[in-house]
Structure 1
Amino acid sequence: MPTIDALAPFYPWTKALHLIAVFAWMAGQFYLPRLYVYHMQVTPGSATSDLFVVMERRLLRAIMNPAMIGAWILGVTLILTPGVVDWHAGWWHMKFAGVIAMSGLHGHLSAARKRFAAGERPRTERYWRAINEVPTLLLIIIVVMVIVKPF
């Protein structure tokens, strides 16, 4: 893949901003499924349910969506920076698969938010408890691939 030499001097800033965006995105990925667990425990249409709808919408729109977009843009910028990715190494394939899976989870959580807002109860409380663990597993895969580069 071609790189852009002009990006090299900005590498430390790009990397720092990328990590900040990823941390914010991950915070939302950890918290939104937990909100869904709690949302499942209240009566549909109640004041508490309505409060969860607002909290979920704000978390997704104000934090998670911008953070995901920032993480992707800055991640692609890092890929285009010379010397960051060794395209012959295999670790980046697994890292990229983890990021794609994390993005898919984001989409799944976003679709569920719309259903909660419509008064539906998508899935079960047990399902959301299990989904709450998925971001941790993906984070482990992604971080190990980037830091350890096992293959």
Structure 2
Amino acid sequence: MAHQWLNVIHLITGMVWLGGLLMMAVVVVACGAGNTSNYISLLAQVRRWSRSVTSPAMLILWACGLAMIVSHGGGLPLWLILKIVVLVVLSGLHGMLSATLRRLAEGQNKPLRPFIRYTPWIVVLATALIVLFVKVGHVIG
């Protein structure tokens, strides 16, 4: 029963985290393209949301996921390893976007890294990969 509740919390926090991460990516791309002074209020609001909702959701997601892995025991199937790799990449992207949001909100108009404009698509693609890995993993075994 505890495993089922961990899974429910894992799924809910995953949706919250990925939604927040997508919002961060879109706002960074939109606001980083021009004069950030026009977007200071929006950037501050997104930063607050990220610190109070998106980041804690990521931490809870990881905690529940790791707890389910430990409680299950045994080796890790390939689909789960692939999912974890994608989650590590997304966690790194979250950190990078958080730092970029902070710099933009502080009015630092440094040019964004070129690949930043693709981060919304990276989040969407990574989310699709996670769903695919989980679905295939449950079908196969």
Distance 1:51 1:126 in 2: 24
Name which one, 1 or 2, has greater alpha-carbon Rg: 1
RMSD over aligned CA atoms reads 2.3
Q: TM-score, normalised by structure 2?
A: 0.85
> Which residue does 1:60 correspond to in 2?
50
- The 3-state SS of whatever aligns with 2:18 is helix
| Identity in percent | 26
Pairing 1:78-93 to 2, within 5 Å after superposition = 78-82=68-72, 87=75, 89-93=77-81
Distance 2:66 2:100 in 1: 28
Greater CA drift, 59-68 or 115-124: 115-124
Structure 1 residue 123, shift from structure 2 partner: 4.0
Distance 1:123 1:81 in 2: 45
Pairing 1:1-150 to 2, within 5 Å after superposition = 9-45=1-37, 48-82=38-72, 87=75, 89-124=77-112, 127-149=115-137
Cα deviation digits, residues 75-129 of structure 1 (max 9, x gap): 111112236xx62632221111011111111111111112112212354497443
Q: Is the 8 A contact 1:37 1:125 kept in 2?
A: no
Q: Which runs of 5+ in 1 are unaligned?
A: 1-8
Q: Which runs of 5+ in 2 are unaligned?
A: none
Greater CA drift, 68-77 or 87-96: 87-96
Greater CA drift, 121-130 or 32-41: 121-130
Distance 1:16 1:78 in 2: 11
Q: Is the 8 A contact 2:28 2:97 kept in 1?
A: no
Distance 1:59 1:23 in 2: 15
* 1:97 maps to amino acid: V
Q: Which has the higher helix share?
A: 2
- The aligned length equals 139
Distance 1:123 1:72 in 2: 32
